[in-house]
Amino acid sequence: MVKAGGCQCGKVRYEVTGEPMNQMFCYCSDCQKRTGGDKWFGVWYSYDNFKFTGAETKTFTRKGSSGEDVHNHYCPDCGVTVCADITIGKFFTINGPSFDTGDHLAPKMAIFTASAPKWAVLPSNIPNFETFPSS
C-alpha cells in the first residue's frame, strides 16, 4: 500500500510503503522553531520504505539529541520541511500533515515534553515522555 505526500507547493513529493515504525509529537525546541508551533508531528518510516519522487529538496543539517546528524529536507520554493533524516536510527520522520490522506495517522506518544512551551496543551490520551524514551 503506497501512500504519498509532499510540500505546500507540490514540487517536493514522496512515497512510503508499509506501516510506520512509530508516530509521535515532538516538543523539542528545534521542532518548535521548524514548525512555528508547539510540536512536530513525525511519522517514522525506515529508509527502505521511503523515497522522494519530486523535485530535489534543500537540506539543513543539525545535531540531534543523540549527537548524530539530523538532515531536515525542505522545499526550495515553499520552504515546507517535509521530513527529517534521523541518521542514527536510519529512518525518516515525516511531517504528518504533509501526507495527501491521513487515515493512517494516529500519534502514539509525546516526547521531549520537558521542552514544551508553557502554553502548550499536552495530550492526555497518549504517553508523555520528558525527553526521548530509553526503549
The footprint of Zn ion (CB under 5 A) covers: 7, 9, 11, 26, 28, 31, 75, 77-78
**How far apart, in whole angstroms, are the C-alpha atoms of residue 21 and residue 64?**
19
Nearer to Zn ion by C-beta: 36 or 103?
A: 36
Nearer to Zn ion by C-beta: 16 or 75?
A: 75
Nearer to Zn ion by C-beta: 18 or 76?
A: 76
CB 12 within 8 A of CB 6: yes
Minimum CB–partner distance for residue 48 and Zn ion (Å): 23
Distances (CA, A) of 118 to 69, 72, 122: 28, 26, 10
Minimum CB–partner distance for residue 8 and Zn ion (Å): 5
Q: In this structure, are strands 91-95 and 40-46 parallel, antiparallel, or unpaired?
A: antiparallel
Minimum CB–partner distance for residue 96 and Zn ion (Å): 13
Residue 69 amino acid letter: D
